[in-house]
Chain A
Amino acid sequence: QSALTQPASVSGSPGQSITISCTGTSSDVGGYNLVSWYQQHPGKAPKLMLYEGTKQPSGVSNRFSGSKSGNTASLTISGLQAEDEADYYCCSHAGSSIYVFGTGTKVTVV
């Protein structure tokens, strides 16, 4: 149950698009269409942003989109806004109802 690998930090200017990668193995990310993404502001609980790799829960901006290629999933934030500055975590089902989170990525809006 090793953590999925994410870049420690990603930055962008307002209005730009950024992409966060999430690399696992064929036993987790590559083996299931069950990658989810979470946004966490300091001192707050995580918030679901995408589920099943590409689906947005009700109320989440369509500026957030997801994709997957092989063992790597990605979260793209388009039209970057100041409020998007937060930590982002991916998570994948890893078989037998076990889940594994990514290492987390700090997004900075410069």
Chain B
Amino acid sequence: EVQLVESGGGLVKPGGSLRLSCAASGFAFRNYGMNWVRQAPGKGLEWLSSISGSTSYFYYADSVKGRFTISRDNAKNSLYLQMNSLRAEDTAVYYCARGQSGSFDPWGQGTLVTVSS
């Protein structure tokens, strides 16, 4: 069964940092691009970042460029999102999702990040 499990969310103060992880299983992780998508409370989905299977290419939404860094460890079947200079508006559930044919499937269950003093 293809499965993605996020971890690392929690409460962090404005200006702080947090590193999210996404553990993948059930598929050849290195063969797929991976993505991070977030959803603020009561709001819609926002694509944040993607990384190619080979780790050679990565892309960011303007809202997080320069503050967030996507990475992956294919030996550990894991995806990461390093989040720095966090702001209140970064409060959201963060999902990892496998990329395929310009779509996202499947998604993890999400991890909640709360930025508050």
Interface residues of A (CB under 8 A from B): 1, 3, 32, 34, 36, 38, 40, 45-48, 51-52, 55, 57, 89, 91, 93, 96-104
Contact = CB atoms under 8 A, between A and B. Distances in A.
A1 B62 contact: yes
A93 B102 contact: yes
B107 to A, nearest CB: 4
Given A52-B102, A96-B59, A45 B107 contact: yes
Given A45-B95, A97-B57, A98-B61, A51 B105 contact: yes
A3 B40 CA distance: 14
A45 B37 CA distance: 11
A98 B113 CA distance: 23
Contact of A45 (B50, B61, B100, B110): B110
A57 B2 CA distance: 14
B101 A52 contact: yes
B103 A48 contact: yes
Interface of B: 35, 37, 44-47, 50, 57, 59, 61-63, 95, 100-110
Nearest to A97: B59
Given A96-B59, A97-B50, A98-B59, A89 B44 contact: yes
A60 B108 CA distance: 18
Nearest 8 Cβ contacts at the A-B interface: A34-B102, A36-B103, A51-B103, A48-B105, A99-B47, A45-B107, A104-B44, A101-B45
Residue among A32, A48, A55 with the most chain B CB within 10 A? A48
Nearest to B52: A97
A32 B103 CA distance: 12
28 contacts: A1-B62, A1-B63, A32-B102, A34-B101, A34-B102, A36-B102, A36-B104, A38-B104, A45-B95, A45-B107, A46-B104, A47-B106, A48-B105, A48-B106, A51-B101, A52-B101, A55-B101, A89-B44, A89-B45, A91-B47, A93-B102, A98-B59, A100-B47, A101-B37, A101-B44, A102-B44, A104-B44, A104-B45
